[in-house]
Amino acid sequence: MKTIALILAYDGTNYAGWQRQSGQKTIQGTLEDALSKMNNAPTEIRGASRTDAGVHAEWQIAAFDTHRDYEPDRFKIALNALTPPDITIRHACDAPDGFQPRFESRGKHYRYWLWQGHYLPPMLIHRAAAVRKLDVENMRNAAQYLIGEHDFSSFRALDCQAKSPVRTLTRIDISTVSGPYDYTCADGNALIQIDVEGTAFLKQMVRIIVGTLIDFGLGMPAHKMRTILESRCRANAGQTAPAAGLTLVRSFSSLDDWINPSLLL
């Protein structure tokens, strides 16, 4: 028996999230179906991040155990053939026996796209959330209150089961970018990119942070972010932003010590 680690990307639009669920199409379930065919036996796959329904990933880490003595690239090629085109195995490599991506995590980088304009371009329907014109500078000022170690009870889903609400955010960058399509300059439209990094996250934490930042973009005084944070009350924060705008850009782990990024698809 040996352990194989994977780096994969996926479009989460057609999936009920990462985690296997009875009667639901999920990323984990789809991968396990493919692996079970390869191994000729039920095979469990372990992920670093349990992304929600509709959330995308560019660098999700997963691992599984196998009795097949195949080279890692053979698993990559076979899995890319056995899974739908909205899931891509970017890299496969040997990993320490029993490698657990979730517990080996060194942090995560999430990105959220907001489209401010009169309409949401069709190409961005599953990649961004539509908003009114926002005050980006005020959003930046409000976001700074969230940097560091805090009790993020105000920014987690009511059904979050994490034992502790304390988390550490290391970065929140908010910028306007051109994006993948030539729409940015039309009628003053712009794509707002929100990059959030931290050591770990609570359920729906990034989406709630984004929903709250939208309120600041619409005029709420930046200093009120401290009040929301210190209240430790979910009702005081903003709405949960739609899942479609969120992407797991990078999951950091001990794999980084021996992965050459140039080898990735």
Number of H helices, E strands in the chain: 5, 10
CATH number at residue 225: 3.30.70.660
pLDDT over 60 (residue 54): yes
Shared domain check, 201 and 173: yes
- Point out the domain boundary residue: 78, 103, 128: 103
Are 36 and 127 found together in one domain?
Answer: no
Whether 34 maps to a domain, the answer reads yes
Q: 145 and 36 in one domain?
A: no
Q: How far is CA 208 from the centre of its chain?
A: 13
Q: Does one domain contain both 95 and 148?
A: no
Tell me, yes or no, whether 232 lies in a domain.
yes
Are 216 and 141 in the same domain? yes
Strands, DSSP E only, in the chain? 2-10, 45-47, 56-66, 87-95, 105-116, 129-131, 148-151, 166-177, 190-198, 246-253
Task: Kindly state whether residues 169 and 85 are assigned to the same domain.
Answer: no
Residues 87 and 192 in one domain: no
CA distances from 75 to 21, 72, 78, 139, 224 (A): 24, 5, 5, 44, 51
| Residue that is last in its domain, among 82, 103, 124 | 103
- Could you tell me if residue 257 is inside a domain? no
Same-domain pairing of 74 and 114: no
- For 195-207, write each residue's pLDDT tens digit: 999 999 999 999 9
Do 90 and 139 belong to one domain?
Answer: no
Q: Is residue 258 part of a domain?
A: no
Residue 230 lies in a domain: yes
In the chain, the number of structural domains is 2
Same domain, yes or no: 114 and 211:
yes
Same domain membership, residue 134 and residue 92: no
- CA angle, corner 205, sides to 211 and 226, nearest 5? 70
pLDDT band at 47 (very low <50, low <70, confident <90, very high): very high
The b-or-e profile of 130-157 (16+ CB within 10 A means b, else e) is bbeebebebbbbbbebbeeebebbbbbb
Q: Which residues pair with 65 in a beta bridge?
A: 3
Which domain CATH number covers 15?
3.30.70.580
Q: Quick one: 91 and 129 in the same domain? A: no
User: Annotated active-site positions, please?
Assistant: 52
Which of 50, 77, 103 marks a domain boundary? 103
Whether residue 204 is contained in a domain is answered as yes
Mean pLDDT of 52-77: 95
pLDDT digits (tens, 9 = 90+) for 218-259: 999 999 999 999 999 999 999 999 999 999 999 998 877 767
Q: Which pLDDT score is estimated for 35?
A: 95
User: Percent of the chain, pLDDT > 70?
Assistant: 92
- In terms of phi and psi (left: phi > 0; alpha: psi -120 to 50; beta: otherwise), the region of 204 is left
Q: Which residue range is the domain that position 126 belongs to?
A: 107-249
pLDDT of residue 149: 98
pLDDT score at 264: 67
138 part of a folded domain: yes
Q: Is 263 part of any domain?
A: no
Rounded mean pLDDT, 71-97: 95
Give the pLDDT confidence score for residue 121 in this predicted structure: 85
Q: pTM of the prediction?
A: 0.93
pLDDT over 90 at 187, yes or no: no
